[in-house]
Amino acid sequence: MLDLSETEACRKALRDTDVVYNLAADMGGMGFIENNKALCMLTVLINTHLLQAARELGVERFFYSSSACVYAADKQTDIANPGLKESDAYPALPEDGYGWEKLFSERMCRHFSEDFALTTRVARFHNVYGPWGTYEGGREKAPAAICRKVAEAVMTGRREIPIWGDGEQTRSFMYIDDCVEGIQKILFSDVTEPLNLGSSEMVSINQLVDIVEDIAGVTLKRSYDLTAPKGVRGRNSDNTKIQELLNWQPSISLRDGLEETYRWIYDEMSQQRYAKAA
């Protein structure tokens, strides 16, 4: 366990290492991102110091996990988002704080490749979810938060669910197994430019709730908090480039991924309730 914002910790982590997967960041769901912009920006220390250590120690390949938050906000104002192309990151107008840090770190990777011959690969993640992820505490993302809220409604018998925004905002969500496979394909490819890594199955938050309700076998009354953090109005992944260059894209359906995620979160919450009762 190391604090990778510190230079010496990065050297220690990378010693005798050929391949680096940089997945480290101080981040969370939209509530965290909108209220902790400085903390998100400070993540730049992690990637900067890891790149420096990778260069010093002769690392062969370096993977950087970027984010769809790098995309220009004016490309995400419509719920019927046609899909964000890799070129939509410029002219730059990313998510304030977190998005700017990710975009800057992408450029760092590019220039370390150009100037120091360090092989770097970059993927722009689109909302990764699945079992073993954070589902409470303020850093969870929408799929885990919805699963938790539905599970709470089932366990307590209170058939209500709070939803941030009007529920019409759209996103795509990528199951963790697809994410892992995509990372490997991108890292060991010859593609030097950042690539989208996300599902193109776009849904509204209301539709996301519909799916989880169906999995849980309940129908809940919905209350909408229009003052809560909502993020951009519409976001989806255009997978044209990853299909063309790698002949691959995420394939696990949202329904299948949510079923696994909901069952795991429900079981975790049940164990917590049992432990408290005991």
- Active-site residues: which are they? 98
CB 182 within 8 A of CB 197: yes
3-class DSSP assignment, residue 21:
strand
What is the number of other CB atoms lying within 10 angstroms of the CB of residue 174? 27
- Write out the two tokens for 127: 């909302």
User: What residues form DSSP beta bridges with 62?
Assistant: 20, 120
- Cα separation of 61 and 50, whole Å? 12
Alpha helices in 36-97 (DSSP H): 37-42, 44-57
CA dihedral 175, 180, 184, 186 (to 10 degrees): 40
Q: How far is CA 234 from CA 3, 69, 72, 141, 237, in A?
A: 35, 12, 12, 16, 11
Burial of 242 per CB tally in 10 Å (0-12, 13-18, 19+): buried
Closest CA to 92 of 103, 81, 78: 103
Closest CA to 125 of 170, 93, 173: 173
3-state helix, strand and coil shares in percent for the chain, rounded to the nearest 5: 50, 15, 35
CB 209 within 8 A of CB 254: no
